[in-house]
């Protein structure tokens, strides 16, 4: 019996050792909460960490790191305008089932080198894979998704930053991701992937909370919960501002 028990323990230990990842991520964030105020003009998140190992660094393909930060998903209607008789009008539209409001990817190497297409398809890491299938069967619908990506890249909401993750001795990594001023509220999912030869060997997930605070939070809640009162308050503020401007001009003219 003691011999049988020892054999079973050895088998179990070997089984769990094969299941446990050889390399694990120990992550750090410069901040895990972003507060949106009246003076908020964007934020930069520093993401850093280390690779924990129970064995020496594998002598195979070099380690690469891929970092993604994704804002809340939302359906998007993409429209195409054409000019008819001198007037621009919407002629086609496609509903994108779900697209992240913000999406940034940072890598320690060119993306195609850091992650294979198979792993990209599996984990939906690249920008085009983060956008869900187009809810339309019209011919050429993929160009609407490309247009959505292009517009959001130009506005700073989507970005692919290759070779921006610093990796020291295949152990320590760090990168900084900029977030624009007009973020929407919600949880921004942060993912870190460790890859070798394009294959994911370990990954880690956490969230960054983005919320309005102070007067912005009060006005936002008021507009959603009591829209009539919010409208009256907006008119009152506009009237007071107009009266104040008129009184100021009158005072300057009387001088």
Residues 216-241 have pLDDT tens digits of 555 555 566 667 766 777 777 778 87
**Nearest by Cα to 196 from 112, 114, 107, 105:** 114
C-beta separation of 168 from 51 below 8 A: no
The predicted-structure confidence for 148-184, as pLDDT tens digits, reads as follows 899 899 988 999 999 999 999 889 999 998 888 788 8
More confident: 87 or 106: 106
Q: Return the sign of the alpha-carbon dihedral for residues 167, 169, 170, 174.
A: negative
CATH fold, domain 18-71+99-212, is Immunoglobulin-like (2.60.40)
Cα–Cα distance measured from residue 31 to residue 207, given in angstroms and rounded to the nearest whole number? 10
**What integer pLDDT is reported at residue 91 of this predicted model?**
66
**In whole angstroms, what is the distance from residue 72 CA to residue 178 CA?**
17
Q: Using an 8 Å Cβ cutoff, are 63 and 51 in contact?
A: yes
CA end-to-end span of the chain: 106
Half-sphere exposure of 19 toward its Cβ, with a 13 Å CA cutoff? 6
Residue with tokens 């809340």: 72
The pairing of strands 87-100 and 103-107 is: unpaired
Distances in Å between the Cα of 134 and the Cα atoms of 74, 76, 100, 139, 144 are: 13, 10, 14, 11, 9
pLDDT digits (tens, 9 = 90+) for 110-141: 999 999 999 999 999 999 999 876 555 556 66
Single pTM value for the model? 0.72
What is the pLDDT, as a whole number, of residue 138?
57
Distances (CA, A) of 132 to 105, 128, 145, 173, 246: 17, 8, 9, 30, 52
Whether residue 113 contacts residue 64, with contact meaning beta carbons closer than 8 Å, is answered with: yes
């Amino acid at each position: 019996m003691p011999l049988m028990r020892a054999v079973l323990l050895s088998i179990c230990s070997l089984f769990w050792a094969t299941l446990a990842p050889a390399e694990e991520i120990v992550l750090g964030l410069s901040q895990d909460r972003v507060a949106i105020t009246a003076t908020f003009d964007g934020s930069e998140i520093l993401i850093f960490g280390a690779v924990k190992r129970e064995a020496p660094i594998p002598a195979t393909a070099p380690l690469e790191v891929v970092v993604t930060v994704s804002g809340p998903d939302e359906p998007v209607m993409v429209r195409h305008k054409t000019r008819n008789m001198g007037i621009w009008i919407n002629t086609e539209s496609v509903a994108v089932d779900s697209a992240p409001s913000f999406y940034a990817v940072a890598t320690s190497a060119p993306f195609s080198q850091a992650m294979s297409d198979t792993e990209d398809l599996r984990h939906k890491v690249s920008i085009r894979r983060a956008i869900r299938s187009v809810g339309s069967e019209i011919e050429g619908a993929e160009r609407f998704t490309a247009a959505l990506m292009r517009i959001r890249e130009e506005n700073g909401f989507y970005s692919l930053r290759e070779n921006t993750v610093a990796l020291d001795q295949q152990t320590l990594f760090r990168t900084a991701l900029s977030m624009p001023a007009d973020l929407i509220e919600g949880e921004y999912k942060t993912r870190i992937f460790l890859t070798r030869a394009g294959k994911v060997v370990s990954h880690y997930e956490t969230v960054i909370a983005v919320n309005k605070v102070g007067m912005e939070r009060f006005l936002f809640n008021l507009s959603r919960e009591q829209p009539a009162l919010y409208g009256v308050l907006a008119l009152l503020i506009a009237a007071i501002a107009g009266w104040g401007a008129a009184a100021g001009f009158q005072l300057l003219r009387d001088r």
